[in-house]
Structure 1
């Protein structure tokens, strides 16, 4: 009986491991909301690229840390299929900072696809996206924004091929 339970648990684990979407790339962008002289509220956008078997495999929320000690589960606001089962998913939320300053926003996910040859034995290596954003003293320095990628920041590593 113990063997049957162990085998069932192993099958469930392996099935769920194969159904997990592979994170392929992403970007964090920040946009000040409201008057740039007085506002400390920003819209944080996390664009992720997952390779998945179905859109249902893509997470509904991703956690973004704002760089001031606060982290928020960003809800999914849109999703689209690009090609090769690659889904572009956008997550967004508002956040108000306590003061002007420089903040490093971050998102961490585990892990790269296990079967990319160049990353062999690196399945436990986390992925980290970061974006530094500065809320300046707008009366002295003006307003600030950050660049947004025009092309998807997606790796080209493929299972079974050297990267």
Structure 2
């Protein structure tokens, strides 16, 4: 398996990974158009997990630079896996690999995400519930190796 930054030609496949969950009543064409024009999606850097043998893209996520005055941090969003490839560890491998790469190349050790699927999956990856929750539908979670950061003393980042 290989983790790499997504290319423009990967984006249709990446967007379609979330269609069954986030597409709602949109047609595939309208959903792809909405994703490709999303300012939010354009602000981040997309990463994917790809099978080395088949070339198949298995999972994807987007990484955002968070502007927090208390610390340097990244946001992880839109974690998705092809429906037929779910529950095989692909998203876990991608998230762990992306975090490891960012820790190494960007010297960043604090990550946030908003979970719409409950907390168990992310807790298995080491994420903790943020002490303050501002959204009813999503749970803010964090992972930090920075021992100088007191999450009790800061506001959660806005939903990204």
Q: Same fold (TM over 0.5)?
A: no
Q: Whose helix proportion is higher, 1 or 2?
A: 2
- TM-score, length of structure 1 as denominator length: 0.28
